[in-house]
Structures are given as C-alpha cells and as structure tokens.
Chains A and B, each alone.
Chain A
Amino acid sequence: MIRVLLHRVVLIVPILFGASIIVFAIIRLVPGDPAVIMLGLNATPKLILQIHQQLGLDQPVYVQYIHWIGGIVHGDWGHDYLSGQPISGLLTTTLPVTGELVVLSLALAIALGVTVGSVAALYRGRLPDWVSQIISMIGISIPDFWLGIMLTLLFALVLGVLPSSGFTPLTVSIPDNLIHMILPVVALASGLTAVLIRITRAAMLEVLGQEYIRFARASGVPEWRVVLHHGIRNAAAPILTVIGLQAGYLFGATIVIETVFSLPGLGQLILNSTLTHDYPVIQASVLVLTLLFVATNLLTDAAVLAIDPRLRQARTA
C-alpha cells in the first residue's frame, strides 16, 4: 500500500509540470496585452515596449517559461505585474479562504449526500426515495452561481438573517467567520451533494442486495448496524472515488462562488488576474489549484486503499 501511494506521489510531479505548460500557453493565447492594461489610456508603443522589456515579455515564449518554471522550482512564485508584490504573499492570504470554503463544502456534501443516498436506498421505490431523487435532480440541474444569487436574495435581502457577502478571518472571530460562510458553502456544496446522493443510492442498493447482508440480517444483526457497519463500509469505495473526481469541479466552482459572495480567496484572485492579464498570478494560482485537485485525488485513493483489505493486500504483494 505504501509503495502504491509513493508511486502516486511521484506521479504528481509530471502532472504539475504538464499543467504548468498548459496554463502558461493558454493564457498567452488569450487576446490582450498586460502592458496595455497596466498603462491604460497612456499606452504608447514606446511605453509598451519598455514594459515588455521590464517584464521579460519581449523574449521568446519558451525562454519566458523556463525562466518562470525555474523560479517556481526554487520556491520563487514571482511578482504581481500590477502591484509588484510577491505572489507568495497573495497565495498565503487567499488560500486559507478557499481552503475553508472547500473543506466545509466537502464536509456538508458528504454528510448530506451519503445520508440521503443511504436513506433512499433503504426506502427504495417509496416516498423517501422519490423525494431524494427529486432533490438530487434539482441539485444537479441548478447552476451554483444562480443558487448563490437566489440564496442571497432570500436569506440576506428578504429574511435578513444572513450576510450577503464578505469574509471575516477565522483568527478574528470564529462565529462571524462561519456566519459568512453559510451561504457560499451551501451554494458550492449543492451540486456535489446531488451527485453523492445518486452515487450513494446506487452503491448502497448494490451492496444491500449482497449475500453477506442477507446473512447478517438472518443472524439477527440489527438493521442500523447492517446499514452503517456493513453497508456504508462496502459502498465507500465508489463514493470516495466520485468525491475525488468531483472535487475538481468543486475547485473550479470556487471561482464563481467567491465572486458571487465577494470572498477574497484563490478563485477571486484567478478571476481578477485573468481580467488584468496578470500572467504570473494566474499561473501560480492555477498551479496551486491543480496541486489541490491532485492532492485530493491522492487522499481519496489512499482512503479507498485503507478501507478495502483486498486492495490493501493485493497491491503490496
């Protein structure tokens, strides 16, 4: 098991390397010139050329890339074009915001999705199953940004019980922080919850039809224990795999959700730096997002390996 995981950790390096090339190339294909944006109305060809020289944009693309990736390897993320601040500082302030948003959303989606999905499987074809199917259909269909706006309208404007936007760091006030997180977390978690309801329902139906479940029931094991102990444990592998894959969408959706709720996180940083063609910031933040996604997948894979004794042993042998 350790060897499998080490192998996967080593594989992260080429993945990140590939991602860095793609990001680097794609943002340069986007029409627009950072120098023009920086200069605004004052842009003259001469000034533009001067800025290109300052930023190294006059060099061939591959040279620019080698220069940039060389810095990353040495732990130098580069500097923000506009403010000239080191990007590492931007990352350390934005990453905790996005991290909290993602972790809370994942926790909410897993708790709700697995619970509702299991109940649906247990009550297959009856009212709770229908209700859960409708909920998950709605959850999959509604775009998260629209849900975010609607939630804000209802809870912030009409009912006035929750703040519509903004962020308080955890270190300043924990209750205040959490109150600001409620709406964004619900909006971000809705899609994943809906997917997890369906996956859990399908996985549980499969497991609950197995002979060992029948045997446990025929041995007088209480139903709650049959479901929680044998059912969930056996259904966990497909559920975890889907969580790992869906986490990618979750990270991507933070860009929209953070914008809707004005959260100063990584997503908003990506959006703003894209609007200003701030190449080093986009590159750095997308690379960090990629790393988060790959790490999440590694974690879910490790969890699957840890849960299933068959995989645990088959791969170490």
Chain B
Amino acid sequence: MTPLLEIRSLSVDYGYGAVIRDLSITVSAGEIVGLVGESGCGKTTLGWSVLGLLPRSARVDGSILFDGTELIGLQARKRRKLLGVRLSLIPQAAMASLDPMFTVGHQIREIILTHQRGGRAGADARTVGRLREVGVAAPEARLRAFPHELSGGTRQRVATAAAMILNPSMLIADEPTSSLDVTIQAQVLGVLRSVILEHGTAVMFITHDLGVVAQISDRIAVMYAGEIVEEASAQELFEDPKHPYTKKLLAAHPGFSNKGQRLATIPGSVPDPAQRPGGCSFEPRCPVAIPLCQEDRPPWVAVESDRHVRCVHCAPNH
C-alpha cells in the first residue's frame, strides 16, 4: 500500500537543539497510527511540522510527503489549499480550540466557504449533518451557540466536526481528548473512531495516553526525546513490547500493569533537547543500558517486516 503521509528523516530545531531528530514514519490511507510519548518528547512539534504551523524560527530538515506533495517549503498559498480540505487538524485543547467571539455555525461555515463556493444555507445544512454525525444534540440550535455555551465534550465534538467538514483524507489529532474527563473522553473517542472508520480517514493520533491509543490505533509508534524508539501493530506492542522505554511505559500505566501491585515509575525525565546524550537518548534512564549505549545511536532494527525498534538489544549482532 502506498503511504498517504511519508515523513522521512525529519529534524526540527527551534534553535536550542533538535526537538525532533531524524524521525521517519509513514501513514497509509485509512490507517490510524497512534503516536505515544510523554510530554516534551516532540509529539506536538511533529504534528505542527506536517500542518506547517511551526514558528518561523524553526529549522526543518528532511521530507514530509503528503499524497505525493512535499510539504516542507511548500508555498503558503498551496498549503492552504490542502489544509482543511485534504489534511485537517483536530486541535489539542477542547476549551480553547474554538474562537470565543463567533458562533459554531459561523466558524464551520468559514472553513467551508474558504475552500468552496456556495451560500450560507448550503454550508449550514452540511454543518448540521456533520454535527449530528459526531453526536451533537440539537445541531440546528447549536449553530447559533457560542463556544462558552457548550460543554467541553460538545466543544470537542464541534471541533471534530469542523476538522471533518470537507471530508479530508487525513487528520492530525493532537491530544484531542486529553482535556476532557474520563467518561466524556471515552464517548468522544468512540464517536471519533466511528466517524473515522466510516469515512476511511487516515489519522495520526498524537497522545501521551497509552489507554487512548490502545482503543483507537491500528499501529503505534512510541516517541522518546524527538525520535521514534519503537513501531509495531497495536496488538504486538501491548503483548510483546521490545524497547525498554515501551516496557517501562506499559508498566507505568494502570490499565496494562499487574493489579494489586504498586505502579512502576520511570526515574528521571526526558532529556532537554540542548543536552541530549550522545548515544541512545534513553540510556540515562534505561535499566538495561550497556556501555555501548553511551557511544553510538542505536540502529533502527527491523524485528519483523513491519516492526521496528531502536535499541542495541534488538540488533541481530548483539
């Protein structure tokens, strides 16, 4: 299957060390790829790179191909033709992703009329349909509602509807449910999943929550300090994690660790981009580190055909 989104050797530097370092990942059409990592590992920067939202000061290397179009260095005018139409963002903060000054109807209509000719009535009819699809109650009345009049869950549904309004072939979902409480989170996630599956939308689902990626992803990439350290199908990753960081991450999650035991923690924190270790980024926190880890960056080892780990312990000659 040809990849819809192909990121190759991407590096992003804000001027104080690489926030993303030589990162490669592909997303095929209709595929849901979960991108997990703790905060500060470069997840959001990765999403912004794809959408062209990086600050001007950021230095970007590598390649991001979306459906054959190189996104790095793409003219703003050409990028705008893609954004919202074929490539959309489901934004991070449910509370802040809608403009408080304008009604729901106004904001979604703006996206439609930016890209397509047509009148207000037609745009509103489509908006109502999409709002209904994502489970917003009384969608006609909601068109005239301001964001502050809606609950967090409804706002996130509205943002989802806005992102999906023109049937994009790919979504970047940046922690779309993290600011919601758990019961609402499950509902919104369920709606998101069914809408995505129905439209066959490819998704890069960025989150710090393993429980969330487990529910929604076909494939999972684990990020650490600006790199992908392990990539596997969802099932493989949870059943048989290879990278020590993935193992630690799973052990630290209440849903996947053994009941009745104290939850494990990972001592230390993600290294600052300015002071990244020379060899393996995870080496300072790794329980199975060996001297070699300090010297060379571990190779990207293909454990199986579509399964990769960046760890010396998985290298064949180890």
Contacts and interface: CB of A to CB of B under 8 A. Distances in A.
A210 B98 CA distance: 10
Residue from A218, A219, A223 whose CB has the most chain B CB atoms within 10 Å = A219
Interface in A190-217: 210-212, 214-217
Given A211-B97, A219-B110, A307-B101, 7 more contacts: A215-B91, A215-B97, A219-B83, A219-B84, A219-B111, A229-B110, A310-B146
Interface in B121-176: 146, 148-149, 159, 162-163, 172
Contacts of B149: 313
Interface in A234-266: 234
Interface stretch (B60-68, B74-82, B256-264, B308-316): B74-82
Contacts of B159: 215
Contacts of B102: 230, 233
B169 to A, nearest CB: 14
B51 A218 contact: yes
B111 A212 contact: no
A220 B85 contact: yes
A221 interface: yes
Size category of the binding interface on chain A: 20 to 34
Nearest to B145: A309
Closest A-B pairs by Cβ, 5 of them: A218-B89, A220-B84, A220-B83, A219-B84, A211-B96
Contact of B111 (A211, A220, A223, A233): A220
B57 to A, nearest CB: 8
B66 to A, nearest CB: 13
A222 interface: yes
Contacts of A216: 99, 110
A76 interface: no
A313 B144 CA distance: 14
A33 interface: no
A212 B98 CA distance: 5
B96 A212 contact: yes
Contacts of A234: 99-101
Interface of B is mostly: mixed
Contacts of A308: 100-101
A310 B91 contact: no
A225 B80 CA distance: 12
A13 B146 CA distance: 36
Contacts of B148: 309-310, 313
Interface in A96-133: none
B88 interface: yes
B61 to A, nearest CB: 22
Which of A216, A218, A222, A310 has the most B CB atoms < 10 Å from its CB? A218
Given A211-B97, A230-B99, A307-B101, A218 B91 contact: yes
A218 B88 contact: yes
A199 to B, nearest CB: 18
A215 B111 CA distance: 10
A233 B101 contact: yes
Nearest to A212: B99
Contacts of A217: 51, 53, 83
- Chain A interface mostly: helix
B93 interface: yes
A220 B79 CA distance: 8
Which range contains the number of B residues in contact with the other chain?
A: 20 to 34
Contacts of A222: 80, 114
A230 B88 CA distance: 19
A240 to B, nearest CB: 13
A228 to B, nearest CB: 12
B120 interface: no
23 contacts: A211-B92, A211-B96, A212-B100, A214-B53, A215-B97, A217-B53, A218-B83, A218-B91, A219-B114, A220-B80, A220-B82, A220-B84, A221-B114, A222-B80, A225-B114, A234-B100, A234-B101, A307-B101, A308-B100, A308-B101, A309-B148, A310-B100, A310-B148
Interface in A35-76: none
A220 B114 contact: yes
Contacts of B82: 220
B247 interface: no
B199 interface: no
B59 interface: no
A198 B96 CA distance: 25
A214 B93 CA distance: 11
Contacts of A223: 76
B81 to A, nearest CB: 7
A220 B148 CA distance: 24
Interface in B15-56: 51, 53
Contact of B146 (A225, A233, A309): A309
B117 to A, nearest CB: 15
A221 B111 contact: yes
Given A218-B51, A218-B53, A219-B88, A212 B97 contact: yes
B189 to A, nearest CB: 19
A214 B146 contact: no
A218 B47 CA distance: 11
Contacts of A221: 80, 84, 110-111, 114
Interface string A276-317: 000000000000000000000000000000011110010000
Given A220-B82, A309-B101, A211 B146 contact: no
B162 A219 contact: yes
